[in-house]
Amino acid sequence: MRAIKIPVDHTEPIAVVDVGHDWRSMAQAIGGPCEYIERVRCPLTPEHNLVLAVDENGLFDGQPVNDRAWPLYPVPGYQLHGTVLVLQEGLTSEGIDFMDLTDPEQALRLVETVS
């Protein structure tokens, strides 16, 4: 499944990556001590069905602040920690779930415009 990866490190590019569909693969792509994935809606959700996958315990796991991803969740007093994945969500046979990006290049452009 393709996703947009927003690393904390500004020397690493924001890029399209392949991750597995299960939470363990997403946690591995996020890196660090990530054990729990949290789905977060963002300004790109209503029109483009793009959501964030973040380390639910990033703040407590010691993950650094991801200021590159903050524009995707601009909530005063809240910070995203660690690498952030941007995925598409949609209706599947299992209900609403993460899915492969239908247009990865468009998604990357949208994320880069906002970030």
Average pLDDT in the chain? 93
- CB-CB contact of 89 with 73 (8 Å): no
pLDDT tens by residue, 76-89: 888 999 999 999 99
Task: Domain of residue 49: give its range.
Answer: 2-114
Residue 47 is predicted with a pLDDT of 94
Are β-strands 37-41 and 50-55 bridged in parallel, bridged antiparallel, or unpaired? antiparallel
Question: Could you give the number of structural domains in the chain?
Answer: 1
E strand or H helix that includes residue 111: helix 104-114
Element (H, E) at 92: strand 84-92
The pLDDT > 90 percentage for the chain reads 83
pTM (two decimals): 0.94
